Structure 1
C-alpha cells in the first residue's frame, strides 16, 4: 500500500533527530539591550553577577517579591540596575529584549516562557534546559579576549574545570597582543590585497627578525676568535719557548689520531644518536688497545660529550622524560655489570660480539623498512619492554665497547617511537651510563692509555654541540634512513671480521 500524500507531508515536517551540540555560539551586546531578571534569590544573584561581570553597562530590570541583600548592594553601585519589588505581571515584558528566569516555580516558568515567546523574546530558565532558548556558558576572559564554553547542558562541572584550565594557561599579557593587533589593523590602508601585503611585511619581522652581521654570526665569531687566539699563543710559544716545542714533539702520536677520530665519530653520533661506541671501539682495537682499555677510553670520553649533547637536546625539547625514567635505572645497572665483567673476563667478549652484530644488522633492516612507511604505522605497536631493553643495551655497550645507540635507539625507532625524541632521550641517558661505567673501568683497570682517552675527550667535546644542532634540522625519515644504513654497515663489518678470523 502506497503512503498517502498527507503522510509524506508529515514526514517532511517532522524535525530530524538532533545529534551532537546544536547550539549556535553568539556574543550579545547586553549594554545595548534591556534585560529582565525575574527572581532575586541566590540563583537570581548568580545570574545578575554573570550579566554584570560580562557587561558592566548592561541595563537590567529585576522583578521579585523577595530580594537578596547582595542584589540591593549591586544595584546601589550601578545605576543601570532597577529593582521592582513586586509579583511578576505580563506588563513587565514590555520594552524588554531578553528574559532571565531565576525562580523554582516550574509551572510559573513554563507560563513565563509562553508569554515571552508570544512577544518574540528569548528566555533563559535557571536549571531547566528544556525551557531555555539559550544557555550561559562558562566564561574565560583576558581583557578583550573572551571565550565561552558550552557542554550543551550535559555537565556544568566539566565546563567549570575547562574554565579553570584556560584561565591558568592563557597569559594575561595576551590582551596587550590584542591591543597591538587592533592598532595595526586600524593603520592598514588600501584594498584587501594591499592590507595583506603590509601585514605580511610587518609580521615577517617576528619570524625573521632583522639582525646585524655580528648578531647573526656571533657564535661563529666567538669560535673564530678563540681558535685564532689559541693558534697565536701556540705559534708564539713554539717559536720562543724551546721547552714547549719539546713537550709537543714528545707527545705520543696516538693522541692526535684519537683527537681527530673523536671529533668525526662524535659528529656522526650526535647527528643520529648512535655509532660512536661501535666506530670508536673498532678504531681503538685497530690502534692496538686491548678491549677493556678501549671500552674505558670510549666511556670516559663520552661523559663530557654526552653531557653536552644531552644538554643541547634538553634545551631543544627533544627529551621524552617518561621514557627516560623507565630506561635509565636498568641501563645503569647493565652498564656497571658489563664494565665489571669485561674488566675481569676480557677474553670472552669477542665471542658474544658477532651475536650482537647479527641482531643490530636485523634492526637496521627493520628501520630502513619503517623509514619509507613512517606515516602509515606511526604511533602504533610501540615497544613496551623499555626496562629490559635498557639493561641489555647498557650491558652490551659497556661489555663490548659500544652498542647503546645501535641497540636501544634502533629498537625504539623500530618499535614505533618518534626518532627525534628517541634520539634526545638516548643521548641524555648515555651521559649517566658513561659516567658510572667509566668509574667501574677506572676502579678495575686504573689510568691506562691516557693519550687515547684525552684525544677522544677533546675531539668528541668539540663536535657535540655542533652535531646536536645538526640533528634537530634533519627530518625524522632522514634520521631513520641514516641510522639504518650505519647500523647495517657497522654490523656487517663485525660479522665479516669474525668469519675471516675463523677461516
Structure 2
C-alpha cells in the first residue's frame, strides 16, 4: 500500500493558499500495484483506456453498478481486468494501492475520496482537480521514452497541444537510440565519471544532430538559385529586349507604385503567412496588367522574397522537412501547368481578367472569414493527402496569380498541423514553386511590364527579412480583416468595370 501520512480534511483550502506548481512528477509501476477504478461509463472508460495504454499489464479492478456497452466491449479485449457489478462500499478498498473515482455522482466521488484517505490511499477524482492527490498528464511516448506533461490542472487543452507538438517533433527512431544506449552502457568499464563522459560523447549528436544534405545546404542552394535566375533573366533581357534597356534609363512611375506595393504586401504576407499573391494580383489588375503578365510579375518577385523568407525560417528551425518532401514535387507540377495554361490564354485577357478578379474576390472573403474563426481542428483530422493539396495549391496559385498561402497554409493549420512549422515549410516551398512557374511564364511571354516586376522584386525583397522576424509580433486578426476588405473592394471594382463595359 502506498503511504499517505497526515492527510488533512482541509487540504483543499490549504492548497488554494499555495503559490506555483507544487506537483512532484513521478512514474508509477501500475503493473506492480493493485488499482481500483470506480465507474464504468464514458468517464470510467477514458480513465481505463489511459491506464491500459500506458501500462498494458496493470492489475485493475472495476467497481460499477451500471456498465456501458462501450465499456463492456473494452473489457472483452482485456480479460485481465476484473469487473464487479455492484455499488461501491468501503470494503472495495481492501487490498488496493491506488484509486480512480470516475463516476458522475459528485457526492459519491467525495465519499470515495474520504474512504480512500482513511486508508492512506492516493486517489484521482475525474474532472475535480481540487479533490485529486495526483493528476494524469498528457503522455508523449516513443518506445521506452515517455514524457509526461502537466499544467497543474489548469488547462488540459494546453497539455494536449504540447503533446501534439512533441509527437510531431520527436523522431520515432529515438527508441532505437535508447535501446542502443542501454546495450552500450552494459559494455562500459570504469567508474561512474568515466561512463558518463563516454555516454555524453556518444549522445552529443542528439543535441547537435547531423542534417541531411538538403537541410544543411538549403540556404546556399536558395542563394545560388537566386543569383543564377536573376543573372539569366538580366542577360536575356539585355540582349533581346530593347525596352528593358530603355527602362533602365527612363524609369516609369509604375515602378514606384509596385515598389511600395511589393513592400507592403510582403510585410502582410510575413505577418499572417498568406495573401501576397492575392493582394498583388488584385493590385496588378487594378493597375491594368493582364492576368498572365500580372501572375508572371508576382511569381518572379516571389523568387527573391520567398528565397529570403525561406532562408530566415530555415535558420530559425521552422521547417518540417518531411512535410516539405511530400509537398514540393506535386506543387511544382501544378504550378508549371497553371502557368502554361494562363500564358496560353494571354491574348484573351479581356475574358480571363474578370475571372481572376472573381477568384480574388472570393479569396478576400475567405481571408475575412478566417480572421474571425482562427481555430485549429483536432490532430485526428490532420490532412493526409499532402501531394494533392500541393498540386491544387500550386496550380491555382500560378493560374490565378496567387493563393498558395491562402489554400495550402490555411489547410495545413486547419488540419491540425503546427502553425509555425507549417508557415516555414510553406514559405520555403514557395521559393521553388515561384522559380519554376516564373520561368514558365518568362518562356511563354518574354519581357513585359518590367516596371511592375522590378518594383515587386525590390519591394518584397526589402520586406522579407523583416517580415520573417515580426511574423508573431503583429495582430494577425487585424491584418487579415484589413486585407480581406481591401482585396474584396479592389476585386469588386474590376468585376464591376467589366460588367459596365458589357452594358
Bigger radius of gyration: 1
